[in-house]
Amino acid sequence: MDFFFKPKGVAVIGATGKLLKGGKSAGGARAAMRHTASMAGNVQVIRGALKQVGVVEAHDFQQMADIAKAMAMYPAKEAQSRGRVAILTFSGAAGIVSTDMMSERDLKLAKLSEDTIEALKRVYPEWMPPSNPVDLWPAIERSGAQRAYGEAVKAVCADPGVDALVLHLFIGGVAGRELDISYLAQVAGEAGKPIFIWALGKRKELRDFMVMTQQIGVPTYREIGRVIDAMAAVLS
């Protein structure tokens, strides 16, 4: 039987299809049989076939919506993308957690070039050598949030070894209030680098921020895992 087909009813125009597949466990397969009178099939075989035709599997409805949002904003990945990511964060711990989650999704930390490191040093105090994840808090204290994030985004976007960026932002704090997100998104867009945001903060300010980023086409999520899942789908 030929499994290598474009899913019926899915138009893929420079984009990747999304699928929420139920009946993956033994219990789920039995439930699917009772519910639809359809066989769930061997999940590994199905996953292999879907991967061959460029369909990303979602594991629940929330993840399906998250992936759909990201793919709508970035419908076509760069051909040379190899899943190399730069993390720009205000928190070293959040950078570490993001790195762990990326490794579980076949993404990797980008190795920053010497030119990128030198550019980052312009906003860092002398005692803090920049690396990836890019812990920007010392740079924010020295140079201010807009300059620190702005120079960092420009530097990593110019690096040919970086395929995508993740920004960590605390909305409502001093750093969050100073930032011009539209400018950062413009820099990334001109470089052809997808940018994703993990944002946290007070409810109203965070809601307003997410409305704004939706309007300018930057996928933004409230949990790190959701950011990494969406980014992995776009870069896969």
* Cα pseudo-dihedral 127, 131, 134, 137, rounded to 10: -10
- Give the mean pLDDT of 144-163: 96
Contact between 29 and 38 under an 8 Å Cβ cutoff? The reply is no
pTM over 0.85: no
φ, ψ (nearest 5 deg) of residue 232: -60, -40
Residue 62: pLDDT band with limits 50, 70, 90: confident
User: For 84-235, CATH number?
Assistant: 3.40.50.261
Whether 122 has a pLDDT exceeding 90, the answer reads: yes
Sign of CA dihedral 95, 210, 225, 155: negative
Q: Provide the 10 A C-beta neighbour count for residue 146.
A: 16
What was the pLDDT predicted at 18? 47
Which one-letter amino acid corresponds to residue 230? A
C-alpha 234/C-alpha 66 separation (Å) is 11
Residue 35: in which H helix or E strand, if any?
A: helix 26-36
What was the pLDDT predicted at 3? 41
Sign of CA dihedral 56, 57, 62, 63: negative
Residue 128: pLDDT band with limits 50, 70, 90: very high
Report which of residues 218 and 55 the model is more confident about: 218
11-56 per-position pLDDT tens digit: 343 445 545 455 455 544 554 555 555 545 566 666 565 565 556 6
Collapse the DSSP code of 22 into the 3-class scheme (helix H, G, I; strand E, B; otherwise coil) and give the result: coil
Contact between 223 and 198 under an 8 Å Cβ cutoff? The reply is yes
* Exposed/middle/buried for residue 91 (C-beta within 10 Å: 0-12, 13-18, 19+): middle
Task: Please enumerate in sequence order all residues whose Cβ is within 8 A of that of 51, keeping only pairs 6 or more positions apart, or say none.
Answer: none
- Give the mean pLDDT of 171-177: 69
C-alpha 18/C-alpha 75 separation (Å) is 12
User: CATH 3.40.50.261 in the chain, residues?
Assistant: 84-235
Q: For the chain, give the percent of residues with pLDDT over 90.
A: 58
Residue 179: pLDDT band with limits 50, 70, 90: confident
Whether 207 has a pLDDT exceeding 90, the answer reads: yes
Q: Distance between terminal CA atoms of the chain?
A: 26
Query: On the CB side of 29, how many CA atoms lie within 13 Å of its CA?
Result: 8
- Give the mean pLDDT of 170-199: 87
Residue 88: pLDDT band with limits 50, 70, 90: very high
CA distances from 178 to 73, 143, 146, 197 (A): 25, 12, 6, 16
